[in-house]
Amino acid sequence: MIDENTFQVLLIFTAFVFVSLWGRNLVSIGITSDKFYTATEGIMIAVPRFLLLGASLAGILVYSINPHLMKWSALPLPFWLRWFGFFIGLAALIIFSWVLWSLGQNFSTTLTIKKDQTLVIQGPYQWIRHPMYTSFVLLWVGYFLISTNWYIGLTGIVGFVWAIVVRTPKEEQMMIEQFGDEYIAYMKRTGRYLPRWLGKKTISEH
């Protein structure tokens, strides 16, 4: 019979894979202070992001140690939905891994344009301009469903959505300044977070 320990293991597995992918890639490009914060990003983006995601990660850690300690914020979701969350998490990890492979040395955790920055249009970037953000939100939806914990889900998803909504326009403006008409043409044929064929073009996507 499936019990809470099964989903505890599933959450630990998806979290471990994510941390391993992120950490390995961060080490490969070098760990410096600008990988965590730059003035371009701004306090209004960085502080809520760190607080909310930190709270969510703390919840994931506590749940991984003992799910009973997070019972106060648990929801009564059916087993099939929790398994569905696990497969969403796996899909998110595949997308995230694909993103990292496609970016290579262009990878950055902050709003930074490198001296040797190139415009990446291969992999998932041929359809979506910000597939990493998409993978993050999907991953946290997976964490929420696996754990059935609204605290883990709410703090993480809100943290990412806040950062994404405020950060994306700045990021795209920086890319326009760096690559000019090439990036504008790229914007016209891609979706911001989802492929264009999955939704109608919005004014915010130009």
Which residues, other chains included, contact 130 with Cβ-Cβ below 8 Å and sequence gap of 6+?
A: 164, 168, 171, 192, 193
How is the chain split into domains, by residue range? 4-197
pLDDT tens, position by position, 113-141: 777 789 999 999 999 999 999 999 999 99
Q: What CATH number was assigned to the domain covering residues 4-197?
A: 1.20.120.1630
User: For the chain, what is the mean pLDDT?
Assistant: 87
pLDDT for residue 205 is more than 60: no
Please tell me which residue, 76 or 28, carries the higher pLDDT value.
76
pLDDT higher than threshold 60 for residue 30: yes
* Residue scoring higher pLDDT (104 or 149): 149
Q: Strand, helix or coil at 128? A: strand
Indicate if the pLDDT at residue 143 is higher than 50: yes
Q: What is the pLDDT of residue 3?
A: 84
Predicted TM-score (pTM) of the model is 0.87
In order, the DSSP letters of 26-75 are HHHH---GGGT--TTT-HHHHHHHHHHHHHHHHHHHHHHH-GGGGGGGB-
**Distant-in-sequence, close-in-space partners of 162: CB < 8 Å, separation ≥ 6:** 45, 48, 49, 52
Would you state the pLDDT for residue 35? 52
Per-residue model confidence (pLDDT) at position 199: 53
Phi and psi torsions of 149, nearest 5°: -110, 115
- Residue 28: the pLDDT is 73
